[in-house]
Structure 1
Amino acid sequence: MSARTTLPWPLVALFTAGYLAPYLLPTTVGRLDSGLPLSATQAGAVGSALLLGSAAAGFLLASRVDRFGPRPLARLGLTLAVLGYGGAALTHWVPAVVAGAVLGGFGSGTATAVAATGIAARPDPHRVTTYGLLGVSALAGAVYLTVPHLGPGHGLPLAALALAALAVWPLTGRLAAPGPAARTPGATGPLPHLRSGLVLAAALMCWSLAQNSLWGVSGRIGLTQAHLSEVTVGMVFAVALGAGLLGVVAASAIGPRLGLALPIGAGTAVIAVCIAVSASARDLTTFAAGEIAWNALYPIVLSYVIGLAASLDGRGRWAVLVGSASSLGTAAGPLAGSVLSAQAGFPAMGAVLAAGLLVVGVPMTVVAMGAGRRSLAVVEIPVETPVYDRATAA
């Protein structure tokens, strides 16, 4: 079986473990302010600190994965995630919870950096990314269905993150060692396509900020503005992430047929509408419609953006740097969403975020148009490859 048709399951699993924290952000932040003596804004700040730890790991390791080797770095990251999230789940002392969340976030970011570097080196980064997003969506959906029935407290979502990292750790033994090119001195050098990479990184940071500003407070919108129970909100999120699974499958099946600019540009515009609808929801129907449509589209757009970043540098440096920039925006999301909603209300916050998405979608589309031909060659999925395997928002 060729490298193009063999799916690198260890990379997919590592991607899943690394990306799970942003997917669980609503329940993590929501349970922090209900299970600990924290205000909603303070809980959002803790969520932001967790994701800042993840972003810091990405920026630190962007060009160092090959140097240290994917296997030891992946094991280090997963170990930090287990210790950090697990420790935060077992204590009610707020400083220890914050420290554990940041440590766990750094571990998640380390795992993501290793996964992104490995995926970028594949001949089919878009396909592998869609499988990783599929894994995250399925696992996060299971958590949203399960956690409300296990009792109150801040520890359950954090424990889920720790257990996911622990489950993936045995698969790190199958991670490939760095290839000859990675060990060759001449393999290092300046980043290619510098302007496109910087524009994409800056735009995706703002894109993720807008997405996760709403995602971080979506639980509170359902509970306080739409007057739903935690069980109902959890079911909506689970169905939304299930729609994300369909979005991932659709992205994998469509592959390069629509190019890069159309999925990224038009998809971002429709997501902006969904965010405005969800933020203004005052009943189950509107809330569910906005969240489900949003989460169905999010992984489609994200998979093309990650594939675009991977195509800019075969060594994976732009994939890691763009992903880390996205993590910065994701990290600022919970706090930004909490502050915006507290000052202006949920509907006004949604309108601001939607307008921002429409603006940042323009440079992302321009980069996709400029790199389209090269990216299509990289992410091409052969028609004979079966598709058998989202949503994040961040």
Structure 2
Amino acid sequence: MFAPRTTPWPLVALFTAGYLAPYLLPTVVGRLDAGLPLSATQAGAVGSALLLSSAAAGFVLASRVERIGARALARVGLLLAVLGYGGAALTGSVPAVVFGAMVGGFGSGTATTVAATRIAAQRDPHRASALGLLAVSALAGTVYLTVPHLGAGHGQPLAAIALTALAVWPLTGRLPGPTAVPHTRRQREPLPHLRSGLLLAAAMPCWSLAQNALWGVSGRIGLTQAHLTEATVGVVFAAALGTGLLGVLGAGALGARFGRALPIGAGTAVIAGCIAVSASATGLASFAAGEIAWNTFYPVVLSYLIGLAASLDPRGRWAVLVGSASSLGTAAGPLTGSVLSAQAGFPVMGAVLAVGLLVVAVPMTAVALHTGGRPLLPGAVRRRGGTPAAVVAAATGTPTGAVPRVGAPEQPVVEIPVDAPAVPARAAYDTAGPRRAGAAPGAGAK
């Protein structure tokens, strides 16, 4: 029988700590604008610097998690997040806030890198990533409901990120230590599915930029264009993240039942429409409808994209590289949204972002289609028709010892030379009789 699936709670918690800063970006940028002598564009630039630092951590550490060890690297990332965000929350100096945000961003990126690498090694990376998105959505929704009641200032959302990193620290003891990776192995294992991975890595920054360009200015859309109070905007964001939880639960329940191409392609098209509606909102109804619908589909598509990247390499390298490339778009999002909205207004910004999403949906869907009909992981033996035999056997209850686990390294094929001369079966029968013939080389197997 198969061992029951265990929930990787330390990885889910680490994923939550790493992703919380991007989820709280609207309130972070909005409060930097209101609480410090910064313009809207400058506040967006601080948010972009935070996320750019997070992306840099992914690029630097993508191939070093095994050698350094997930436990040590996760602790370093969480420590940087506590010190960076905590320090930025306690000071009113603009240079200190910027420096603390960048240090905290590097810590968030480190935590996300470790979580993505370890999640890719799970038997079901889509399930683990969906649980992570579920946790971070719930926590971010709670923060959006709480922060408006804690007074003005930029420190509250930054302090929430720092306290989350501090709370996750004890769970890092269950993560593995360093793994000795021979130099020859690193040389002999190039990135699999190179073209698909590169195409996905090139498309993800554009996809993330469009999402976070709107997300970074959503608070200002609600306050200035829809004429809502901060508390009302916070309630809308909390409700939107709450429906996002339902979307993640639905994605986790559906799994790969409809493949990845349909959720990624059609979901991105729906998100494009939601962005256009939200950016054109002039009242509570349109603002809430756009934000809630958008936040419902965004984590669904993101969970499938994370699962697609993780499936390209069981060692998690594509998951980290694609995630870091996505963080580049995430980093440029707030500044892009601020510049576009300042130059052309929120509705035009929304239309531009929606068109860009429709364009970038094409290559991402192509990658999902291209990799969906063949085994994505080493060790998955292909049957006629394209279904990995290991998956088929698992579905029919075959004992685990008879089928290699999906993602297991392939066993080398070794040729065994046979030096003994072949003996014709008829000659052996004639000379030794039927009883002696069973002792001939190769005989005896039933």
TM-score by length of 1: 0.94
Equivalent residue number for residue 350 of structure 1: 350
Q: Percent identity?
A: 77
The answer to whether 1:156 aligns with 2:156 is yes
Q: Check the 8 A contact 2:68/2:177 in 1, yes or no.
A: no
Equivalent residue number for residue 90 of structure 2: 90
Q: Which moved more, 1:184-193 or 1:363-372?
A: 184-193
Q: Check the 8 A contact 1:120/1:314 in 2, yes or no.
A: yes
What is the letter of the counterpart of residue 181 of structure 2? R
Distance 1:4 1:45 in 2: 46
The structure with the larger Rg is 2
What is the letter of the counterpart of residue 36 of structure 1? L
Q: Check the 8 A contact 1:127/1:379 in 2, yes or no.
A: no
Distance 1:14 1:50 in 2: 18
Distance 1:178 1:10 in 2: 17
Q: Check the 8 A contact 1:256/1:379 in 2, yes or no.
A: no
Distance 1:248 1:379 in 2: 24
Equivalent residue number for residue 330 of structure 1: 330
Equivalent residue number for residue 290 of structure 1: 290
How much has 1:3 moved relative to structure 2?
5.9
Equivalent residue number for residue 389 of structure 1: none
What is the letter of the counterpart of residue 318 of structure 2? W
Equivalent residue number for residue 341 of structure 1: 341
Cα distance change, pair 147–2 in 1 and its aligned pair in 2 (3 A) = farther
Equivalent residue number for residue 183 of structure 1: 181
How much has 1:178 moved relative to structure 2?
5.0
What is the letter of the counterpart of residue 32 of structure 1? L
Moved over 6 A (4+): 376-384
Q: CA RMSD in A?
A: 1.9
Following superposition of structure 1 onto structure 2, how do residues 239-278 of structure 1 map, counting pairs within 5 Å? Answer: 239-278=239-278
How much has 1:200 moved relative to structure 2?
0.3
Following superposition of structure 1 onto structure 2, how do residues 132-151 of structure 1 map, counting pairs within 5 Å? Answer: 132-151=132-151
Distance 1:379 1:197 in 2: 23
TM-score by length of 2: 0.83
Q: Which moved more, 1:218-227 or 1:366-375?
A: 366-375
Number of residue-to-residue matches in the alignment: 382
How much has 1:186 moved relative to structure 2?
4.3
Distance 1:93 1:51 in 2: 20
Following superposition of structure 1 onto structure 2, how do residues 54-69 of structure 1 map, counting pairs within 5 Å? Answer: 54-69=54-69
Equivalent residue number for residue 194 of structure 2: 194
Q: Check the 8 A contact 2:72/2:177 in 1, yes or no.
A: no
Deviations 1:158-182 (A, max 9, x none): 0000000000001000112356xx6
Equivalent residue number for residue 369 of structure 1: 369
Equivalent residue number for residue 390 of structure 1: none
Structure with greater helix share of residues: 1
Equivalent residue number for residue 224 of structure 1: 224
Distance 1:3 1:116 in 2: 23
Cα distance change, pair 251–382 in 1 and its aligned pair in 2 (3 A) = farther
What is the letter of the counterpart of residue 266 of structure 2? A
The answer to whether 1:115 aligns with 2:123 is no
Distance 2:289 2:317 in 1: 37
* Unpaired segments ≥5 residues, structure 2: 377-386, 398-446
Equivalent residue number for residue 39 of structure 1: 39
Cα distance change, pair 43–383 in 1 and its aligned pair in 2 (3 A) = farther
Equivalent residue number for residue 420 of structure 2: none
Q: Check the 8 A contact 1:240/1:293 in 2, yes or no.
A: yes
Equivalent residue number for residue 435 of structure 2: none
How much has 1:194 moved relative to structure 2?
1.1
Equivalent residue number for residue 391 of structure 1: none
Q: Check the 8 A contact 2:50/2:102 in 1, yes or no.
A: yes
Structure of greater relative contact order (alpha carbons < 8 Å, 6+ residues apart):
1
What is the letter of the counterpart of residue 183 of structure 1? V
Cα distance change, pair 260–178 in 1 and its aligned pair in 2 (3 A) = farther
* Unpaired segments ≥5 residues, structure 1: 385-394
What is the letter of the counterpart of residue 297 of structure 2? L
